[in-house]
Amino acid sequence: MTLNDFVTHSYSRLELILKEHLIDNPSPALTLQKAVEYATLNGGKRIRPLLVYLIGKMLGASWENLDPPACAIEFIHIYSLIHDDLPAMDNSDLRRGKPSCHKAFNEATAILAGDALQPLAFEIITQHPAPLTPQQRLDMVKILSQASGIHGMAAGQMLDIEKISSIDSLTQMYRLKTGALLNAAVKLGAISAGVSDPEIINSLLVFAENIGLAFQIQDDLLDIEGASHIIGKPQGIDQANQKVTHLSLFGIEKSRKKIEMLFDTAIDSLNFLGEKSELLCEFATLLMQRVT
């Protein structure tokens, strides 16, 4: 299967599951239902669920076992985007090239839409029909909850709205806000495949951590050089919010070199897997091509 075929198949499975848990099981609150559908079925790169599928299939998991964690991690990611865009945080009017959830509806509805997506993620892991064992489901809940909360993504969001003055604190924010869910995607894929070999897991985490950091620095670069209609959000919003970024500390050229170094480290971490990692390496390469 080519990467294009793999992504197309993954997208079709993911969209089917997303719609099944939203459209086929509607909320009694119609406005909330519409807001959640608007934010969730609004396109996007679907990077985190794709990583779940790529890692899991590489390690021998069935598609059926990968569907629940892939859908769940996307719900968590979308909730974070809805809340990130709120006026109290990034104050962004655009998301994925369309009005942000709070602009399409209102702030209160957007907050509730994000709130609703969090428990829905865990509902899918625990209840979606798949040949997962109870222990696998429990492990998935543990991994995703840790990656989402006070020691993961939420902590990164908090650091992002506080004053950052050093590269160490900036890197910590990147690793929590972006890296925590990417690491979770790796672990969820491995759990789906029943793989717990520390050498394999640690190597995949090195991949995820370096790709995640490269991806975040790349986002900083696109905030300066990208066009709003291409990146799907307002260009220059980091500067408008006076955020400290890798670019503001080191400039464009050093940031580009940092991205290249992180990418090389990520790919090198997969060498021991040989041809098994071919699609994963190809996917990582496509992600990094966003710089140009």
- Where exactly are the structural domains of the chain? 3-286
Rg (CA), the chain: 18
Encoding tokens for residue 227? 């066009």
The architecture that CATH gives domain 3-286 is: Orthogonal Bundle (1.10)
pLDDT of 26 > 90? The answer is no
Tell me the CB-side half-sphere exposure of residue 242, using CA atoms within 13 A. Answer: 3
What rounded mean pLDDT belongs to the chain?
90
In this prediction, residues 208-234 reach a mean pLDDT of 74
- Rounded to 10°, the helix 246-268/278-288 angle is 160
Q: Which of 105-114, 126-135, 233-242, 260-269 has the lowest mean pLDDT?
A: 233-242
d(CA 243, CA 91): 13
pTM of the model: 0.91
